[in-house]
Amino acid sequence: MSEIFTPVRVGRYDLSNRLVMAPMTRSRAGDDDGVIAGYVADYYAQRSGAGLIISEGVYPSASGKGYVSTPGIETDAQVEAWKKVTDAVHAKGSHIFMQIMHCGRISHPSMQPDNALPVAPSAIKPAGQTWTAIGQQGFVTPHELTVLEIQGVIADYRATTRRALEAGFDGVELHAASGYLPEQFLSNGSNKRTDEYGGTIRNRIRFVLEVLAAMVEEAGGDRVGIKISPEMNFNDVVDDNPQALYWELVEELNQFDLAYLHLTRQGTPEMNYHTLLRPRFRGPYLMGAGLNKKTAEAAISAGKADAVVFGELFLANPDLPERFQQGTTFNSPDRSTYYGGDEKGYTDYPTLKVAEPV
Ligand SMILES: Cc1cc2nc3c(=O)[nH]c(=O)nc-3n(C[C@H](O)[C@H](O)[C@H](O)COP(=O)(O)O)c2cc1C
């Protein structure tokens, strides 16, 4: 049997296999109320063959929203809708962590309360555009958070962690990848602060560590994970010494006894971050991005990862674990239905034909 299908302990939980469904924004919530549609529970339940599901990014406060029709978990209606998801996944015997995603400057006033400016560590406009309810719009120069406001954002992560647990999630993942707010603090291209949150690496990692401390106080380290993506350079976030930055960050993560470290992207040909950082982290290691069955199995058997994370393959193949086991082909993802829409391209990907009983 493939080692992917052996059980593994991740934080507080014994997962039935080492397959993890990647967090994927699918924009199936009401744009006004941030409440996920009823069929979202079906989507996650269909993919419960994974030992662990990481939910799409959920904003920790209205100002953390950066994409149209993405969900929140602030209001009672939002929490109630998520309960249906966690119940459905648990009924199928799987586990689900909620990803907390604050987009920071990767947003637009049209998505912000009172059309305010998005927030960031520094007032630096990212290059590029974003899709909004009023069409394609250029990013704007964000509002630089004051120290007091930073404390407010951290409090939002704490409250969101509490609400995620109330909604039945097994844990929470801090989205510190892909150029969103936590990575904006980490990286010296987007963080030019001169106070205790900017400058040295020690100062730039402070925000992430304080957010994690708050989340861990609510949930316990064994119900908190973190996702990072060194040198992905997505959303115009760059750092001029990422090896040193992540080397120090990961060492500091060890103090929290986290459920896992989730790292996507191998890095550059010169620098394989899995090789660099996996030995540095004392805890379960989730490897993601660009994997297939063969590379995932190789990573597990070589001890390079404890679990393997699949995005697009899981999106298009609700029964991915079964397909891996049977060695069959895969459905292709329909990229036109990734973000927004309805059940089409969401809950209607076919599973393998079940043999008729004779
Ligand atoms: C439609 C879509 C939405 C995504 N949304 C998120 C997200 O909300 N949070 C996140 O951390 N990553 C997000 N990702 C990135 C995935 O988690 C994953 O890292 C990426 O797809 C690479 O893995 P793969 O090669 O197995 O697809 C998204 C990817 C896709 C395809």
Digit-by-digit pLDDT tens for the chain (358 residues) are 689 999 999 999 999 999 999 999 999 999 999 999 999 999 999 999 999 999 999 999 999 999 999 999 999 999 999 999 999 999 999 999 999 999 999 999 999 999 999 999 999 999 999 999 889 999 999 999 999 999 999 999 999 999 999 999 999 999 999 999 999 999 999 999 999 999 999 999 999 999 999 999 999 999 999 999 999 999 999 999 999 999 999 999 999 999 999 999 877 778 899 999 999 999 999 999 999 999 999 999 999 999 999 999 999 999 999 999 999 999 999 999 999 999 999 999 999 975 445 4
180 belongs to the catalytic site: yes
- What the block records as the tokens of 58 is 């959920």
Residue 274: the pLDDT is 96
Residue 79, classed as helix, strand or coil, is helix
Contact criterion met (CB below 8 Å) for 183 and 110: no
Structure tokens, 297:
């199995």
Ligand 1 centroid to residue 22 C-alpha, Å = 6
Cα of 288 to ligand 1 centre, how many Å?
Answer: 9
> Given this model, what pLDDT does residue 354 score?
56
From the candidates 44, 59, 180, 260, which is the catalytic residue? 180
User: How many whole angstroms separate alpha carbon 263 and alpha carbon 313?
Assistant: 17
- Ligand 1: list residues with CB < 6 Å: 22-25, 56-57, 99, 101, 175, 177-178, 227, 264, 288-291, 310-313, 338
Q: In CATH, what class is 3-337?
A: alpha beta
pLDDT digits (tens, 9 = 90+) for 152-162: 999 999 999 99
Residue 356 CA to ligand 1 centre (angstroms): 35
Residue nearest to atom 28 of ligand 1 (CA): 24
Q: How far apart are the first and last CA of the chain?
A: 28
Q: Which amino acid is present at 98? A: M
List the residue whose alpha carbon is closest to atom 31 of ligand 1.
312
Asked if 53 and 26 count as a contact pair (C-beta separation under 8 A), the reply is no
pLDDT of residue 356: 43
Break the chain into its structural domains and give their ranges.
Answer: 3-337
